[in-house]
Chains A and B, each alone.
Chain A
């Protein structure tokens, strides 16, 4: 008997419930489905839900709490001396017991522990059987109720749809909770940071120099936590990336949806999507060892002074990486525009390019803007390419030929460095994250406005 066996039994029971309820609903009306309130399969769905929900609930409770209850029982059964010895490190004691249970250790000699292991084992088995019988009987009760309620005037579809609705809401709650969790944790840690470093210094300071502030005696030294260079760097690199990905991505999407043959599109679209999946380390090496020297040599040839670590190289390669974000999502948006619009425009004598720019793109605008936003987001969030190709130097410059760094790079460096933890330095990572969040939020709201203003809703 294992947990997955319980699960299987429940699924099996649900299938039985589905079939029985469906049959029964047909029998109730002697095969004349018009007399039923809902379709026969709705009665089946309803019955399956009645079995699964209580059964899975029991299983979930067992999975969540079963183990800790057994552990508590076993530990309480041990002599006080051992309990006292492991007072604040119960998991270690439990590990000793578990090792014996699994026979992974042959070194255990303590009789009490050996006895506890024995007890643990038997309790676990008992618990498992209890969980099984409980969830199975709950399932059976559900099955019985569902079959009993299968009558011609029972509104099975409505009930089932209410369950579906609950599921939809549950999912949304998960997504929203994630959002709140992220925002909350950023906010909470940022407040701790701003207790040490004034907000003004952070937002408007022109010098980001964590190394002077890293020392314990210099925490919060004024001027070293100025985030402006980081945001300027992020802005520049994202802009460069979008200059590459925007036109190439959008034009590819247009070409593939409007001009290319179906065969070409079938090959090209997935091929471009590979670009999004190449690990960023690869892009990092590509940027640092192929593109950056290429740019430097070209620059030398043209009389420009391009540093080996330049925003240009990082931005360019990042642009390549996010092409599929723009192209694939725009592609879908353009494809989804009703064909009648396109045909209508063409029939009125517009050339394909006029149709595209004046009809298709405005109609697909929400999708296209969404694609751009996602691409920008990805560019902002990328670290590896920047670290490898543009360095980690927080320069405040508008010159794309120089080294810059981005907010995300600093966040990762601050959170994974070799330094002492719980200093203003580590906390500053959250403050950076929060400001980044606020900025992208502004961007999103702005984009929403744009879409509302220029979107042409047809159909």
Chain B
């Protein structure tokens, strides 16, 4: 009993000693946000910590929505300085920010992330159009022989790729992809599925006549087992693809880049254009159809109070980081075109505030 008391006393003192540190300033940048931007943000943070006299920033992976929520909760040392986002900030979120006194947000667009459709190296290669992806994966598709529109939508009847498009192999439709809560899924829905959806003239007309139904028809994915919501761990999808050569995966380009020896990315095309392989250069040039922009947002009020934010901004926007041959490109970030980079860099250096239109 006495030993316990003594141990408790010592531990209590240790705990107190650690909490009672003198004044506790925050001299470390705090970053929150998207798990997609996380690998890039951490790489910059590490380099920043190593090459400057500032402490290495703390980067949390909270998801874009969670990150913006924290970011917009207020100004002060209890709130993060920067948030990463795999989509642009929304009007409602900016309003929330303003409401909580977060005025003056600096937006930095850092590059692109390609979303690839890939399978095991042992699988038969396929060349897909956005229309194929739409027909194979959407919950509602136009009845065969029609051009879509409200009257002609039926539950997706296709079970093999060959039924979707006779040129494709006769292989079961089995696609592992992100769940609806993920930003990757949003981008995939918007770029690939909607892109294929509007190739049907009836659907396209629906966009104006009944936008609600249009969104449901052109964004809703199948829930009958052909599209499998596989969680956010892209490494796991890659490994599942290796185990199951029938399956096709949807995930970020950096995972294809790192695993090019075991998986292949399928070329994708808009219907009237040539198919484009998901390569670094083609995503950068914008030729590859499914890619989205990545951002981070900085709280202007914190600059000058939390040390190092300005320097972190310039490290991130330096050529050795986000340039064509920078270390972020090594990690799979697709850089912006050079002129856009120059513009964003200048905006960041001048701390120009975000204006949503």
Q: Which residues of A are at the interface with B, using a C-beta cutoff of 8 A? A: 2-4, 7-8, 11, 63, 88-92, 94-96, 98-99, 101-102, 104-105, 107, 120, 124, 209-212, 214-218, 284-285, 288-289, 293, 296, 307-309, 387-388, 391-395, 402-403, 405, 413-422, 425
Contact = CB atoms under 8 A, between A and B. Distances in A.
13 contacts: A4-B16, A89-B301, A95-B305, A105-B27, A107-B307, A218-B216, A289-B243, A308-B240, A393-B225, A395-B223, A419-B186, A420-B93, A421-B68
Interface of B: 9, 12-14, 16-17, 19-20, 22-27, 34, 62-66, 68-69, 75-78, 86-87, 90, 92-93, 96, 101, 174, 179-186, 189, 211-212, 215-216, 219-221, 223, 225, 228-233, 236, 239-240, 243-244, 247, 301-302, 304-307
A420 B212 contact: no
A403 B215 contact: no
A89 B243 contact: no
Closest CB pairs A-B (n = 10)? A417-B181, A3-B20, A98-B25, A418-B183, A211-B180, A91-B76, A4-B17, A392-B229, A418-B64, A387-B231
B230 A102 contact: no
Given A11-B13, A105-B307, A211-B189, 5 more contacts: A89-B101, A99-B25, A124-B22, A387-B233, A425-B181
A98 B223 CA distance: 55
Given A88-B101, A92-B75, A92-B305, A418 B27 contact: no
Contacts of A285: 236
Contact of A391 (B65, B69, B86, B228): B228
B77 A4 contact: no
A101 B184 CA distance: 45
B81 to A, nearest CB: 11
B182 A417 contact: yes
A215 B220 CA distance: 11
A107 B54 CA distance: 12
Nearest to A66: B20
A416 B180 contact: no
B228 A309 contact: yes
A293 to B, nearest CB: 5
A391 B215 contact: no
Nearest to A67: B23
A180 B127 CA distance: 57
| B23, B86, B219 pick with most chain A CB within 10 angstroms | B23
A42 to B, nearest CB: 14
B225 A94 contact: no
A125 to B, nearest CB: 10
Contact of B233 (A2, A101, A388): A388
Nearest to B86: A418
Given A217-B215, A418-B65, A420-B65, A95 B233 contact: no
Contact of A124 (B23, B96, B211): B23
Nearest to B8: A11
B25 A394 contact: no
Contact of A217 (B64, B212, B221, B244): B212
B12 A89 contact: no
Contacts of A89: 75-76, 101, 301
Given A402-B225, A421-B68, A4 B14 contact: yes
A210 B236 contact: no
A403 B228 contact: yes
Contacts of A289: 236, 239-240, 243
A160 B182 CA distance: 57
Contacts of B304: 107
A90 B19 CA distance: 22
A210 B180 CA distance: 7
Given A4-B14, A391-B230, A102 B23 contact: yes
Contact of A418 (B182, B228, B240, B305): B182
A344 to B, nearest CB: 35
Contact of A91 (B12, B27, B78): B78
A416 B240 contact: no
Given A95-B77, A218-B216, A418 B12 contact: no
Given A124-B22, A393-B229, A218 B212 contact: yes
Given A3-B20, A99-B25, A107-B307, A419 B75 contact: no
Contact of A416 (B63, B90, B101, B230): B63
A293 B9 contact: no
B237 to A, nearest CB: 10
B186 A418 contact: yes
B323 to A, nearest CB: 27
Contacts of A94: 77
B244 A101 contact: no
B301 A11 contact: no
Contacts of B233: 387-388
A416 B181 contact: yes
Contact of A421 (B65, B76, B220): B65
A285 B231 CA distance: 13
Contacts of B223: 209, 393-395
A7 B16 CA distance: 8
B219 A211 contact: yes
Contacts of B181: 210, 214, 413-414, 416-419, 425
Contacts of A307: 225
Contacts of A8: 13
